[in-house]
């Protein structure tokens, strides 16, 4: 039996590519985005009452992780990218049905001039992600303090101190809300966004992440990350 679903809307996100996206929602509270509802679901009455909730569940499609065949075992980053576990014991995007689930903070509900938008924070979603459904987060049933979390019992630890070069500091000042952007970049890098298999085998390497409308470039030196610049896309 085959089921077909239509997106109710799409995500606007600072994450323009898969590399660097946090592996779970809520890890970077400074990561802000929006869910923009698509017609015919962009009716203001469809979100009446939603403003009374602090968080929402998003069901979405891993639209850049589609594969012709699924695998019963995967390599979670939390296990170093080497040990395998069953796909249903992980949150890997490579699933039989590429459906994801994220709980995010609802900052504001906006319904103006025919556009219905949820302003969100703590997102872990790629820009353009199709959203299938929204449900309010209900604390007394959705939060289970005594729950066990398998091989990921706690949030990833901070690995690096993040510093900014003089150039990066100057570039931050030229952007909207520079303090918020600096906090976002710091939180993104200090928990190490690199793939688990990369390790520390390439000292001095310059890394890059596409965020918003710029390429964030940094390098690692011991337990420190230096943000080098916020470069225009395509500039070497």
DSSP 37-57: EPTTS--GGGGTTGGG-SEEE
In a domain, 149, yes or no: no
Give how many domains the chain has, as a whole number: 2
Higher pLDDT, 193 or 110: 110
108, 142, 176: which is the final residue of a domain?
142
Does residue 16 sit in helix, strand or coil? coil
Same structural domain, 60 and 119: yes
In a domain, 151, yes or no: no
Does residue 66 sit in helix, strand or coil? coil
* Spatial contact of 107 and 40, defined as CB atoms under 8 Å apart: no
Same structural domain, 137 and 58: yes
Same structural domain, 88 and 24: yes
Same structural domain, 197 and 109: no
> pLDDT band at 113, cuts 50/70/90?
confident
Same structural domain, 173 and 137: no
What lies within 8 Å, CB to CB, of 95 at 6+ separation is 62, 70, 87
Of 31-35, 85-89, 146-150, 204-208, where does the model show the most confidence? 31-35
142, 171, 199: which is the final residue of a domain?
142
- What is the pLDDT averaged over residues 156-176? 93
In a domain, 224, yes or no: yes
Same structural domain, 128 and 13: yes
Q: What CA–CA distances, in Å, run from 35 to 15, 26, 134, 143?
A: 14, 16, 10, 23
Q: Is the pLDDT of residue 43 over 80?
A: yes
> pLDDT band at 197, cuts 50/70/90?
low
In a domain, 155, yes or no: no
Torsion of CA 106, 112, 116, 119, to 10 degrees: -20
**What is the rounded distance in angstroms from the CA atom of residue 161 to the CA atom of residue 167?**
18
Same structural domain, 111 and 208: no
Q: Is the pLDDT of residue 186 over 90?
A: yes
Give the per-residue pLDDT at 193.
86
Same structural domain, 133 and 179: no
**What is the rounded distance in angstroms from the CA atom of residue 127 to the CA atom of residue 228?**
24
Same structural domain, 65 and 103: yes
The chain-wide mean pLDDT, for the chain, equals 90
Same structural domain, 174 and 227: yes
CATH code: domain of residue 207: 3.30.2310.20
Q: What is the CA radius of gyration of the chain?
A: 19
DSSP label at residue 77: G
* Spatial contact of 112 and 28, defined as CB atoms under 8 Å apart: no
- What is the pLDDT averaged over residues 83-93? 88
Per residue in 154-165, pLDDT (tens digit) is 888 888 999 999
Torsion sign, CA atoms 220, 221, 227, 232: negative
Nearest to 87 by CA among 72, 75, 69: 72
Residue 130 lies in domain:
9-142
CATH code: domain of residue 125: 2.40.30.70
* Spatial contact of 168 and 227, defined as CB atoms under 8 Å apart: yes
Same structural domain, 103 and 41: yes
Residue with tokens 């600096």: 182
Other C-beta atoms closer than 10 Å to the C-beta of 171 total 19
Same structural domain, 134 and 186: no
In a domain, 152, yes or no: no
């Amino acid at each position: 039996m085959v089921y077909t679903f239509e997106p109710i809307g799409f995500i606007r996100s600072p994450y323009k590519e898969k590399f660097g996206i946090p592996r779970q929602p809520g890890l970077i509270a400074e990561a802000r985005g929006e869910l923009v509802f698509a017609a015919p679901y962009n009716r203001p009455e469809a979100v009446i009452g939603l403003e009374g909730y602090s968080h929402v569940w998003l069901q979405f499609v891993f639209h850049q992780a589609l594969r012709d065949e699924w695998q019963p075992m995967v390599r979670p980053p939390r296990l170093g990218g080497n040990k395998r576990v069953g796909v249903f014991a992980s949150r890997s995007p490579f699933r039989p049905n590429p459906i994801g689930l994220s709980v995010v903070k609802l900052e504001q509900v906006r319904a103006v001039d025919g556009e219905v938008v949820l302003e969100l924070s703590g997102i872990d979603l790629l820009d353009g992600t199709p959203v299938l459904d929204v449900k309010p987060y209900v604390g007394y049933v959705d939060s289970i303090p005594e729950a066990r979390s398998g091989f990921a019992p706690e949030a990833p630890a901070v690995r690096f101190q993040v510093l900014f070069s003089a150039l990066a500091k100057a570039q931050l000042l030229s952007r909207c809300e520079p303090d918020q952007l600096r906090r976002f970049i710091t939180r993104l890098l200090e928990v190490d966004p690199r793939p688990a298999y990369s390790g520390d085998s390439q000292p001095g390497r310059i890394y890059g992440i596409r965020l918003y409308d710029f390429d964030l470039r940094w390098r690692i030196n011991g337990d420190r990350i230096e943000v080098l610049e916020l470069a225009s896309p395509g500039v070497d």
